[in-house]
Structure 1
Amino acid sequence: MLGNFMYCNPTRLYFGEDALDNLGGELKKYGKKVLLAYGGGSIKKSGLYGQVTAILKESGKEVVELPGILPNPTSDKLYEGCKAARENDVDLILAVGGGSVCDWAKAVSVGAWCKEDPWEKYYLRMEEVDNRIIPVGCVLTMAGTGSEMNGGAVITNHQQKLKIGHVFGDNVFPRFAILNPRLTFTLPRYQMVAGFYDIMNHITEQYFSGTDDNTSDYVMEGLMKSLIHSSLIALQNPEDYEARSNIMWIAAWALNTFVAKGKATDWMVHMIGQSVGAYTDATHGMTLSAVSLPYYRYLLPYGLPKFWRFAVNVWGVDPEGGSDREIAALGLGRMEAWMKELGLVMSLRELGVTEEMLEGIAQGTFIMEGGYKVLSREEVLGILKASL
């Protein structure tokens, strides 16, 4: 491993069927006022809302509810949350839902007491937090983003047609996260498999970088193999607890900063996919699946040894009898077959993207420098055209 780094993850994570039993104990650590945030109401149908509100009541909390945090949370919803948190002077934001609710909660946690426009300060200028931060806790209902154990918060500004993620420091990480795999069982199949690919792409974004013998690469290969195995089981039986628990655990470790240590990381698939999301509001994991293969096939010659290793160590391609490039291409072919078996979106047209949008999507794509090639704007446009 190369370079120097510091590793800290302050999130206390409770995992398993009885994980929610720990919520009351965590609530005791914070003041009386709690902002309860959730999405479109699925937690009421599942009964989770009733469980959580009962625990809040037993804990003597004054609850301010803010529902309606939908996938791809917006800057308008961020402002609404900041206003509610500030005016009620809340002591904790409790996010109950998927990664979007967790992302939104973290954005509100740094934005509520920001003296400037939080979108301008934290998303356009990418400044560090220099104001009061409201603690965040998460009760997770979807595996995919890893937002329950990191400092990332992605917000969409529809007026500016920008979707931007700010990865804040460990002072913004959720203080605690509750992960019960059974809470993911009611997720619609489309969202479930989108989450599976979000996990995979979090890993490949970090894996396809660097040329050193890095321990993190071996860890990531194991995570990917476990994900592939468990995803196919969950596809046939979404209520297979073992498969869903493995996937939930992989999601946390894919993006809690651990496997990125000692590595330069890529993130170009996310940058392109997020720009697509700004134009379409499409499900995040599906924007990634639509652009991944064209990007990786373009990148393959520049990082050939790692793509060869990916084919052999992750997908079990026999390295005998073919050139390195042929073996590497077979690995991407097997990933494509897996993606199709899951039912992922494989074309931007399926998400409503038209040729007329491509120039704007390319212009809205942030260019990262950690992968095997730094793309030009024209190359981004070419990958988008290949993704239609």
Structure 2
Amino acid sequence: MLGNFSYSNPTKLYFGEESLSFLNEELPKYGDKVLLVYGGGSIKQTGLYDEIMQILAENGKQVFEDAGVMPNPTVEKLTEGCQIAKDNDVDFILAVGGGSVCDYAKAVSASAFCEEDPWEKYFIRKEAVDNPIIPLGCVLTMVGTGSEMNGGSVITNTTTTQKIGRVFGEDVFPKFSILNPVLTYTVPKQQMVAGFFDIMSHILEQYFSNEDDNTSDYIMEGLLKSLIHSSKIALENPTDYEARSNIMWTATWALNTLVAKGKSTDWMVHMIGQSIGAYTDATHGMTLSAISLPYYRLILPAGLAKFKRYAINVWGVNPEGKTDEQVALEGLSEMEHYMRTLGLVLNIKELGATPDMLEGIVAGSFITKGGYKVLTKEDIMSVLIESMNQ
């Protein structure tokens, strides 16, 4: 393990088929005014909305609603949510939905009482939160982002064509999150598999860094093997509880900051993917799948030892009689086969990206320095072009 670090995660998790009942334990800890945040209305179709409203009523809560959170929450939506929270002086935010809803709720939590433009202050300048923060909790209905147990939030500015993530401190982490795998059963197939790859990408962004003998890498290899195994089962039977529960648990541990400890971490795939999303409004997980293979082929020579280990320990590649490079490339071939089996998008053209967007996508991709290769703008362009030709 490299470096010196501390670890703390203040989010309490309630997991399982009966986990929603634990709202009755958590709600009395907060004030009476609750902002209920959710997306396009699927929670009403499934009956979850009525169930939660009943629990809120039984706990004497006055409810204000902030509905219509889109898959890539915008600055305009953030402004709207902050106004609702501020006008009604809400005491608590309850986010019900997938990662975008949770991400958005955290942005509202940190921004509602900000006296400046929160986009400029918290997402562009990334300054510390120095205003009152509204506590929040999450009821998860889709897995992938890990937003239920971290301080991350991603907001899109359609005017400037920017999609930017901000990792807030522990005071913006959800106070609790409710994880019932059954609530994920109704997610459409394309959103389900996009979530699967989002999980994989989160792990790989942290795995492909450093060359030391790091416990975090062993944990990540186990998480990857579990994800690959369970996702294949869930693809055939979306209501297989064991598979869906394993995937939900893996998603949380992939991005609750644990496996990043002792690591430098990369995140370049996410930086490019978010820029693609800013231009196309495409599903986040698909923006990652479309550029992952070109990116990893590009950096493979610089991290050859880890890519060889990945091929052997995660994909079961037999190294006998092969060069390190052959082993590493075979691992990426196995990964590509898996991705195609899931039905993931591998070409950014399928997401709506056009050649005239490429310069803007490159310009909007923040360059990170924690991976095996610090990319140039030309490198990013080559990744995008290769994706278009896949």
Q: Give the TM-score normalised by structure 1.
A: 1.00
**1:233-382 to 2 correspondences below 5 Å:** 233-382=233-382
Q: Deviations over 1:216-247 (max 9, x none)?
A: 00000000000000000000000000000000
Letter in 1 for 2:77: K
The CA distance in 1 between the partners of 2:81 and 2:6, in whole Å, is: 32
In the TM superposition, residue 50 of structure 1 has moved relative to its aligned partner by 0.5
Instruction: Look up the match of 1:25.
Output: 25
The CA distance in 2 between the partners of 1:29 and 1:295, in whole Å, is: 46
The CA distance in 2 between the partners of 1:249 and 1:362, in whole Å, is: 34
Q: Deviations over 1:70-90 (max 9, x none)?
A: 101001000001111011010
The CA distance in 1 between the partners of 2:78 and 2:281, in whole Å, is: 16
Instruction: Look up the match of 2:216.
Output: 216
The CA distance in 1 between the partners of 2:335 and 2:23, in whole Å, is: 39
Letter in 2 for 1:305: A
Instruction: Look up the match of 1:37.
Output: 37
Q: Deviations over 1:243-277 (max 9, x none)?
A: 00000000000000000011000000000000000
Q: Deviations over 1:205-225 (max 9, x none)?
A: 000000111000000000000
In the TM superposition, residue 24 of structure 1 has moved relative to its aligned partner by 1.5
The CA distance in 1 between the partners of 2:135 and 2:8, in whole Å, is: 17
**1:127-276 to 2 correspondences below 5 Å:** 127-276=127-276
The CA distance in 1 between the partners of 2:70 and 2:180, in whole Å, is: 21
The CA distance in 2 between the partners of 1:150 and 1:125, in whole Å, is: 20
The CA distance in 1 between the partners of 2:332 and 2:55, in whole Å, is: 47
The CA distance in 2 between the partners of 1:225 and 1:127, in whole Å, is: 38
In the TM superposition, residue 25 of structure 1 has moved relative to its aligned partner by 1.2
In the TM superposition, residue 378 of structure 1 has moved relative to its aligned partner by 1.1
Q: Deviations over 1:158-199 (max 9, x none)?
A: 000000000111111000000000000000000000000000
The CA distance in 2 between the partners of 1:262 and 1:80, in whole Å, is: 39
Q: Deviations over 1:78-135 (max 9, x none)?
A: 0001111011010111000000000000000010011100000011101111111100
Q: Deviations over 1:3-22 (max 9, x none)?
A: 00010000000000000010
The CA distance in 1 between the partners of 2:337 and 2:24, in whole Å, is: 45
| Unaligned ranges ≥5, structure 2 | none
The CA distance in 1 between the partners of 2:281 and 2:367, in whole Å, is: 21
The reply on whether 1:58 has 2:61 as its aligned counterpart is no
Instruction: Look up the match of 1:117.
Output: 117
The CA distance in 2 between the partners of 1:363 and 1:23, in whole Å, is: 44
The CA distance in 2 between the partners of 1:153 and 1:337, in whole Å, is: 31
Secondary structure of the residue that 1:36 maps to in structure 2? strand
Letter in 1 for 2:178: I
The CA distance in 1 between the partners of 2:129 and 2:265, in whole Å, is: 23
Secondary structure of the residue that 2:260 maps to in structure 1? coil
Letter in 2 for 1:118: P
Please report the RMSD computed on the Cα atoms of aligned residues, expressed in angstroms.
0.4
Q: Give the TM-score normalised by structure 2.
A: 0.99
In the TM superposition, residue 357 of structure 1 has moved relative to its aligned partner by 0.3
Instruction: Look up the match of 2:102.
Output: 102
The CA distance in 1 between the partners of 2:346 and 2:136, in whole Å, is: 35
Letter in 1 for 2:90: V
Letter in 2 for 1:196: F
In the TM superposition, residue 29 of structure 1 has moved relative to its aligned partner by 0.3
The CA distance in 2 between the partners of 1:284 and 1:124, in whole Å, is: 20
The reply on whether 1:88 has 2:88 as its aligned counterpart is yes
In the TM superposition, residue 30 of structure 1 has moved relative to its aligned partner by 0.2
Secondary structure of the residue that 1:218 maps to in structure 2? helix
Paired positions, count: 388
The CA distance in 2 between the partners of 1:271 and 1:211, in whole Å, is: 23
| Unaligned ranges ≥5, structure 1 | none
Letter in 2 for 1:217: D
Q: Deviations over 1:34-64 (max 9, x none)?
A: 0001000000011100100000000000000
Identity among equivalent positions (%) equals: 69
The CA distance in 1 between the partners of 2:278 and 2:24, in whole Å, is: 38
Letter in 2 for 1:307: F
The CA distance in 2 between the partners of 1:269 and 1:213, in whole Å, is: 24
